[in-house]
Structure 1
Amino acid sequence: MKAKCMMYTLIVTLICCIGLAHSQPVGMTAKNIVFKTLKFKPSIGDSVSYEYGLLKVPENRKVTGTRDIELAVLRLKAKNPTTRSPILFLSGGPGQSGISYIQEDYFQALIFDLQDDHDIILLDQRGSGRSTPSLGFPLSDADNKTIFLDEKRAIKLHNEAAAAGLADFKKRGIDIKGYNTVQNAEDLNDLRIALQTEKLNLLAYSYGTHLALALAREHASCIDQMILIGTSGPNHMHHLPVTYDKQLIRISALAAQDSAINGYVPDMMALLKSQLKKLEAHPVVIPIKDQRFKKVVHVPIGKFGLQLILRLDTGDSNDFIYFPALLYGMQQGDYRILQRYVERRYNQFNGRYGSGISAMRQASGATPDRYAQIKSQGKTAVLGTSVNTPDIYGGWQHVDLGDGFRTPFRCELPTLFVSGTLDSNTPVSNVEELLPWFSKGRQLRVENAGHEDMLPNAEVQKEIIRFFRKLEPSRRSISLLKPRFVSFF
């Protein structure tokens, strides 16, 4: 999630250490945590104490004699201790640092309120953040300027990076088959035991919801309640192209109602289709700054390139508000807005390092029926196959979790699903598929919310607090203001 507020400064003064680690044989975990007490200065108010420690877990529980890895854990103790279960926050990605969320002002506001009567637990999931080992690996120099020209180059780049990653992991003794959502879910149960609590409350966002559901399938008895924000179900890790068509139609309709832009772009969808057709026949070359080598490079953009650029930000209201102006500029021969998007993604895809975290997405996969839908819809969808390029393809070998992982399951846990109507990453339809399987599930719809708009919203936070305090919901829906489109430059 993009930082929306100023970060606070961590004060690294050690106050005390709690507990002692005991040596264990390789692959055996002592389910305790060595906590250190530290302080940080939040955005408002006095310094706050927190506990920081490491939990050892097996790297691959399916392999005898597997080594231990370490997960970073942050705990805020309840201000008024009660018998309520701790609240564990599960971040997105996969690969986001759950601990780093505490740097956000809006997140501080939420967890400090919840901390009145709950311990708050933040976790860097395996392979991410401060947990070790890191799944980052170095990439050799390559000429990747054609990545936005066609999907074959994007897939080739992905597979080349995975091959480099596997070679690096072999040298470092990392078993990439241990980095998937099932192993991740078992980590959460080990964490519960280490925290000496019977149950956990789960506050999950994006990929964190996918992980929460994996835990609920295998260890429902260790969960008290769940809040799933931007839900990705067991069979939702790869996206349906038609979802993005529907989202673009919604964006186009909203732009047509916005006086700042509708005089220039009365029909964004028609303009998008015309620009895709134009690029298919005649790609354009965009000069951008390569941050790695500190020089200007010229990057060709074809139809696939524009599809990929838009697909990456279609669910984010911070970015899709520029789409009409971007397309209008292209129509006029002005590529300044497109240039900013291309420069950002080019440097993201062409950095010095790759990450094995992408293996976790690939491991979750999709059922044959869903893959068939994806393939069929990709032939006619406006954004084509870019919706799942490149992560739907090979790269990481023999990591798939199988269709048993992806099947729906009955769940009796009290569950609040929070869905944004302008979220194409984890659309409302995901929750509609899951709700019949949840006897105590209910949905909170957030009108006009994109993927990143829900958790920071003050009204959503009020409902989160009510749910964890086991109060009746005050509403079934929340309406945000319609997005305001950027008029041009």
Structure 2
Amino acid sequence: MTQTSLHRRALLAAAGLAFPALALAQTIVPPPAPAPNQAGPFRFKGWRGQDTEAERGFFEVPEDRRDPKSRKIRLSYVRFASTAAEPGPPIIYLAGGPGGTATRALSGPRFPIMMALRESADVIAFDQRGTGLSNPIPERPASTRPPPVLTQEGLTAYQREELQSAWADWTRAGVAMSGYNTEQNADDIDDLRRHLGAEKIDLWGISYGTHLALSVLKRHGDRVSRVALASLEGQDQTVKRPAAIDAFLRQVDGLLAADPAIRRAIPDLPALMRRVHSRLDATPLTLPTTLNGAPGELKLGGFALQLMAGALIANPQTLVMLPGLYLALDAGMTEVLTPFAGEFANSLGIAGMPEAMDLASGISPARLALVQREAKTAVLGLALNFPVPQLLGVIPGIDLGEAFRAPLVIDHPALLIAGTLDGRTPMSEQDEVAAQFRRKARVTVENAGHNVFEAHPDVQGLMVRFFRGEPVGDTRLSLPPPTFKLG
């Protein structure tokens, strides 16, 4: 296992702490390679063999602005020059996660959107602090500790010890880990604006990128013109409500009813999932895998399956696998998990930036009490949000507090995009965030998932019109419903 595995929530833009292959197997491509540490022009390698002229740049910021002794860190971005005669404010892309890499995301299926947006303004792929070429956190060697049984208790205890150890190692190495939070990340965006020489900027973000955008609006809103945001995550939504995920699974169960054969095989999907989780909690199964480059094994409790399901429900492309996997496991066919052995091993890794960001954003006491109450009976419990709230308090003093999590009233023009089959940021949670925007157009894509920007071809055109300043009204687009297969 490595300590640089991607974070569980970064799956929405570049992968997750666990199960990156499940969540974005179709979209991951290598980041741009030429002269990565040199500023200046280069050919950016895009989606499906396309490439384009681009310019790599760097600027420096304090690692922790609250500490005058903090070191300076170098942050990286790639600029795609506008083709417009009179470009608008630069459009800064904010990747999800936390832990997603903007340059990687825009070299995937969002590359055509980026190219189209150049008709309006420069597009900036900004690698946030702790990601991509903006990552000054040293890589740690793989842990030699024996892996825990992958129950919530076992994995939580393991991760708490690993994060404490990693935090201490990084601090001794001179890394100001307390600087890795969304407020400092938002201040980096304003420093980038100044570095670019722009009076104002536009924001384009997804998932955690929307969480970051809200902080930019709160701290530097007078320097932002307009925002296009998808798969919204609010200031106090780092931890999603288990009841919202239960409602989503009932929605999926309703889709299964459209196929009589599947309905006969699975009369009640949530009940099937609960049964499999309970069985593994009572008797964890052993799964051969590779640990530290050598043959090993993991013991999986029900929590491990809940983690896997939390990744699968992000997008329809992987959601369709869920019923068949659970039906096979219910029949004792545990070999269906063999292709995912490496993903379970990846759940043991600590990356640094993602954990620090999530723990700093935290959760309000009232929401935590609600989440814990709902989790007691929810199908996925607290697995969707791991490692929060499980790791709360492991690093004292980093929570940003209630002022950070407080909602705001937003008057900026906003294009808000959502998919009805998004199991990571459910529509009910997104509706709460959308209510903060006074001047918004909502684009709802029926049967799209979390990666909604590239899900429907009409989204690109709506975004181009929006960033040009043309009127865009509430829009409902539709995709065919997913086709579930049991074999």
Q: If the length of structure 1 is used for normalisation, what is the TM-score? A: 0.88
Helix, strand or coil: the match of 1:338? helix
Give the Cα–Cα distance (whole angstroms) in 2 for the partners of residues 399 and 242 of structure 1.
28
Aligned residues: 463
Which position in structure 2 is the counterpart of 1:115? Answer: 118
Deviations 1:230-257 (A, max 9, x none): 1111111111111111111111111221
Give the Cα–Cα distance (whole angstroms) in 1 for the partners of residues 230 and 378 of structure 2.
27
Which position in structure 2 is the counterpart of 1:238? Answer: 239
- The structure that has the greater radius of gyration is 1
Which position in structure 2 is the counterpart of 1:153? Answer: 154
Which position in structure 1 is the counterpart of 2:372? Answer: 375
Q: Map of 1:92-111 to 2, 5 A cutoff?
A: 92-104=96-108, 106-111=109-114
Give the Cα–Cα distance (whole angstroms) in 2 for the partners of residues 238 and 284 of structure 1.
27
Deviations 1:268-315 (A, max 9, x none): 22222322333343x242333215333142x33333332232223322
Which position in structure 2 is the counterpart of 1:25? Answer: none
Give the Cα–Cα distance (whole angstroms) in 1 for the partners of residues 27 and 369 of structure 2.
42
> In the TM superposition, what is the alpha-carbon distance from 1:475 to its structure 2 partner?
5.1
Helix, strand or coil: the match of 2:265? coil
> In the TM superposition, what is the alpha-carbon distance from 1:47 to its structure 2 partner?
5.2
Give the Cα–Cα distance (whole angstroms) in 1 for the partners of residues 161 and 35 of structure 2.
43
Give the Cα–Cα distance (whole angstroms) in 1 for the partners of residues 184 and 452 of structure 2.
29
Give the Cα–Cα distance (whole angstroms) in 1 for the partners of residues 473 and 404 of structure 2.
35
Which position in structure 2 is the counterpart of 1:24? Answer: none
Which position in structure 2 is the counterpart of 1:437? Answer: 436
Give the Cα–Cα distance (whole angstroms) in 2 for the partners of residues 403 and 375 of structure 1.
19
Which position in structure 1 is the counterpart of 2:229? Answer: 228
> In the TM superposition, what is the alpha-carbon distance from 1:107 to its structure 2 partner?
1.6
Structure 1 unaligned residues grouped into runs of 5+: 18-33
Given residue 406 of structure 1, which amino acid in structure 2 is its aligned partner? R
Moved more, 436-445 or 238-247: 436-445
Structure 2 unaligned residues grouped into runs of 5+: 1-12, 14-23
Note if contact 1:77-1:119 (Cα within 8 Å) is conserved in structure 2. Answer: yes
Given residue 486 of structure 1, which amino acid in structure 2 is its aligned partner? K
Note if contact 2:418-2:452 (Cα within 8 Å) is conserved in structure 1. Answer: no
Give the Cα–Cα distance (whole angstroms) in 1 for the partners of residues 424 and 456 of structure 2.
18
Q: Map of 1:381-392 to 2, 5 A cutoff?
A: 381-392=378-389
Q: Does 1:415 align with 2:414?
A: yes
Q: Does 1:12 align with 2:34?
A: yes
Which position in structure 1 is the counterpart of 2:332? Answer: 333
Which position in structure 2 is the counterpart of 1:71? Answer: 75
Deviations 1:84-134 (A, max 9, x none): 111110001111110112321x22211111112310101110011111413
Which position in structure 2 is the counterpart of 1:218? Answer: 219
Q: Map of 1:145-224 to 2, 5 A cutoff?
A: 145-146=148-149, 148=150, 150-224=151-225
Q: Please, what is the CA RMSD of the aligned residues? A: 2.4
Which position in structure 1 is the counterpart of 2:129? Answer: 126
Which position in structure 1 is the counterpart of 2:5? Answer: none
The answer to which structure, 1 or 2, has the higher relative contact order (CA under 8 A, 6+ apart) is 2
> In the TM superposition, what is the alpha-carbon distance from 1:317 to its structure 2 partner?
2.2
Give the direction of change, closer, same or farther, for the CA distance of 1:61–1:260 in structure 2 (3 Å limit): farther
Give the Cα–Cα distance (whole angstroms) in 1 for the partners of residues 51 and 256 of structure 2.
45
Helix, strand or coil: the match of 2:263? coil
Give the direction of change, closer, same or farther, for the CA distance of 1:180–1:135 in structure 2 (3 Å limit): farther
Q: If the length of structure 2 is used for normalisation, what is the TM-score? A: 0.89
Give the Cα–Cα distance (whole angstroms) in 2 for the partners of residues 173 and 45 of structure 1.
40
Give the Cα–Cα distance (whole angstroms) in 2 for the partners of residues 389 and 482 of structure 1.
29
Note if contact 1:446-1:454 (Cα within 8 Å) is conserved in structure 2. Answer: no
Q: Does 1:279 align with 2:310?
A: no
Give the Cα–Cα distance (whole angstroms) in 1 for the partners of residues 317 and 50 of structure 2.
32
> In the TM superposition, what is the alpha-carbon distance from 1:183 to its structure 2 partner?
0.3
Give the Cα–Cα distance (whole angstroms) in 2 for the partners of residues 445 and 336 of structure 1.
38
Give the Cα–Cα distance (whole angstroms) in 2 for the partners of residues 239 and 212 of structure 1.
18
Helix, strand or coil: the match of 2:110? helix
Give the direction of change, closer, same or farther, for the CA distance of 1:271–1:9 in structure 2 (3 Å limit): closer
Note if contact 2:253-2:269 (Cα within 8 Å) is conserved in structure 1. Answer: yes
Give the Cα–Cα distance (whole angstroms) in 1 for the partners of residues 466 and 353 of structure 2.
36
